[in-house]
Amino acid sequence: MSSIDFSWLIGGPQGSGVESGANVFSKVCAELGYQIFGKREFHSNIKGEHSYFIVRISDSVIHSNVNEVSLMISFDAETIFRHYDEVMQGGGIIYDSDLQETSTDSVRALDNHFKERLHKDLESKNKPFTISGVLEIAKEKGVHLYPVSFKKILSSLAEQTENPKLKGMIRMYNVIGVSLSLGLIKMPSTSLLQSIDSIFSKKPKIAEINKLAANYSYNFAISKFTNFPFTLMGTEKQKDTILVQGHQGTSIGKMVSGCRFQSYYPITPASDESVFLESNELLEVYHDRPGSTLVIQTEDEISAIGMMIGSSLTGTRSSTSTSGPGFALMAEAIGWAGMNEVPIVLTLYQRSGPSTGLPTRHGQDDLLFAVAGSFGDFPKIVYSSGDIEESFYDTGRCFNYADVYQVPVIHMMDKFLSSSVVTCKRFDPKKITINRGKLLDTIEGEYKRFAFTDDGISPRSRLGLDNGIFWNTGDESDEYGHITEDPQMRIKMMDKRMSRLDLILKQIPENEQIISHNIAEYTIISWGSTKGPILDALEMLKKEGIDIGFIQIKLLHPFPANSIKTLLQKAKYIIDIEANHSGQLGKIFKQNVTREVDYFILKYTGRGMTCTEVYQSLKKIIENKAKRREVLDHGS
């Protein structure tokens, strides 16, 4: 049993350094040996609206956040108004004492819907509509309050260092907040200063100023703050553990897998992947295989996928990365790649739709679109990763699948994963192999690009290869690629392409298609980033003697129906858990397995699931107190 399970929340206006502060805090905790799961939430405007970051710390492996917060640090009023009720009994709030009498009406960023709910709660408890009102409620609940004037800290620091400019550097509020937190929980300060050095390594002057503020604030908390029940002094660091951000699994996976071209058009939350590739042009990998990837930002998503397809036709491993609206624009070209048997990998970072939807929020809304998107029948693979570590190795698999079966591969990720910061096992490039399938180096004699073969996969030439002349067209074609509307040739070509779906199910190892985490009377089916909250919830239930099974489905198209049917023979109740309104996996499951889902646990608020709310819903199902459709709503 874990002796440490601590959650920390930092909040502030967008652009105020919330993410930087959380990264410093996470890095310190990871350096001291703790396991980390952190997640950022932010509005879709560039600056000003509310942003917050929750970091969960443990001395055992964790995969998700919980509902309650152990310590909240806030340097603005909105964070207190929005999150005061999430702080647990015995937890703490460090806040700017200068905000004490701030009223709800003076915080313009508070939307009317939230304000109405907040006022109703304050009124019911006979409290004023101010920061002091919500803090009184927290105190009555048993929360420790730690007021401090951030302005006075900067003023004192300015006097001490004889640097008057420091008085106005409110940008350092985030580092002050982090340092106050670390002082309160008595974490060693050495790691704090090292983390600041690391994060501001390219800006040494800024690093020095931040370290001054950090030292002062840390010592202030040590001397002034008392009676906090949580102390985190560090633990034994696990070997080969790294701290990574969400997009780094697929980014580094692409480098190691031999992806040499990525085109993209900027879109949240997919852009981070391409920006990371642009920032890390060369990565040394096993056997001195170069890791450089050419990255091009295009004028729109249609251009991005067109350039990717063109690059792939040269024999280059090629990819793009996008989100729902961009994926919609790419749909026709994906069909063109399917018709012409062009291997491409498209990383789809889902967010909440439809249309622009919630552009910076989470969702698993695109499954049915990914499976059925683009017109006409053609073979493709839809594959899903459950966490950041998985995404590294899955990226390598996706490129191999694309090359071997000569199909478009859609690698499903999402905002939950992209906005996470986690500790995991160090990625091992040696575990990623490269299989280019039937890509030819030389051609002798007559060449037919779309030749009929025993396995339905034709030898693949590339642009510029001697004797490897071929034609590509969006129309139906014969073996050479010449346009044809002959009905018998149409049947043969369609059958040839579509036969790959059966071949894919037959040849891809079952442990790459599905992962069974036990089968029980009650068994969960799910996909993607719900994996983490589910695993943590199952661990919580296991401690109570409740055993629930879980099948994580990674290969979503073609669907491994027979394997899943076999696994579920002893399961009496099927529970579908996913982050969309309609239970899209449940629909695919029913269509292919011909069995009804008994319960749905769904979330579509745009916020990621916590293990707490998954646990609570599963408990209700076991106790026969649940509706068939449980809808989760935790999160601000």
CA pair distance 451, 469, nearest whole angstrom: 13
Backbone angles phi, psi at 42, to 5 degrees: -150, 155
- Helix H, strand E, coil C: the string for 428-478 is CHHHCCCCCCCECCCCCCCCCCCCCCCCCCCCECCCCCCCCCCCCCCCCEC
CA pair distance 492, 472, nearest whole angstrom: 18
The pairing of beta strand 241-245 with beta strand 420-425? antiparallel
Q: What is the pLDDT of residue 161?
A: 82
User: Terminal CA-to-CA distance of the chain, rounded, Å?
Assistant: 30
Distance of CA 108 to the CA centre of its chain: 30
Q: How far is CA 137 from CA 7, 121, 143, 173, in A?
A: 20, 10, 9, 25
Q: What is the DSSP string of 303-369?
A: HHHHHHHHHHHTT--EEEEE-HHHHHHHHHHHHHHHHTT--EEEEEEE-B-STT-BTTS-----HHH
Contact 117/201 with Cβ under 8 angstroms? no
Q: What is the pLDDT of residue 1?
A: 41
**Per-run averaged pLDDT (10 residues), the chain, 636 residues:** 85 87 93 96 82 96 97 95 97 95 93 94 96 97 96 89 83 91 93 85 84 91 93 91 95 94 96 93 65 91 98 97 97 97 98 94 97 93 98 98 98 96 95 96 95 97 95 96 97 98 98 96 98 98 97 98 96 98 98 97 97 98 97 94
- Helix H, strand E, coil C: the string for 70-83 is EEEEECCHHHHHHH
Backbone angles phi, psi at 593, to 5 degrees: -95, -15
Distance of CA 183 to the CA centre of its chain: 30
CA pair distance 564, 543, nearest whole angstrom: 27
Angle between helices 204-224 and 189-199 (to 10 degrees): 160
Backbone angles phi, psi at 271, to 5 degrees: -60, -30
Mention every residue, 6+ apart, whose C-beta is less than 8 A from residue 195.
24, 27, 28, 31
Contact 514/560 with Cβ under 8 angstroms? yes
- Assigned token pair, 247: 């997009």
Domains parsed from the chain with CATH numbers:
5-224 (3.40.920.10), 243-431 (3.40.50.970), 438-508 (no CATH), 512-632 (3.40.50.920)
Q: What is the pLDDT of residue 203?
A: 85
Contact 432/393 with Cβ under 8 angstroms? yes
Mention every residue, 6+ apart, whose C-beta is less than 8 A from residue 76.
11, 12, 13, 16, 96, 99
- Assigned token pair, 627: 């509706």
Q: What is the pLDDT of residue 289?
A: 64
Enumerate the β-bridge partners of residue 601: 577, 630
Q: What is the pLDDT of residue 10?
A: 96
Classify burial at 278, counting beta carbons within 10 Å of its beta carbon; exposed 0-12, middle 13-18, buried 19 or more.
Answer: middle
Is 34 in a helix, a strand, or coil?
coil
Distance of CA 39 to the CA centre of its chain: 9
Dihedral over alpha carbons 472, 475, 478, 480 (to 10 degrees): -10
Using only C-alpha atoms, the chain has a radius of gyration, in whole angstroms, of: 27
Is 39 in a helix, a strand, or coil?
strand
Alpha-carbon torsion 119, 121, 125, 129, what sign? negative
The pairing of beta strand 514-516 with beta strand 549-553? antiparallel
Is 515 in a helix, a strand, or coil?
strand
Residue 344: how many CA atoms within 13 Å on its side-chain side?
A: 34
Q: How far is CA 210 from CA 5, 18, 24, 164, 166, in A?
A: 28, 14, 11, 15, 10
Give the strands of the sheet with 69-74, arranged side by side. Answer: 144-148, 87-96, 69-74, 5-13, 50-58, 35-42, 420-425, 241-245
E-strand stretches of 97-252: 144-148, 241-245
Contact 153/175 with Cβ under 8 angstroms? no
- Assigned token pair, 71: 């310590």
Backbone angles phi, psi at 395, to 5 degrees: -60, -45
Residue 231: how many CA atoms within 13 Å on its side-chain side?
A: 8
Quote helix, strand, coil % in the chain, to nearest 5. Answer: 45, 20, 35
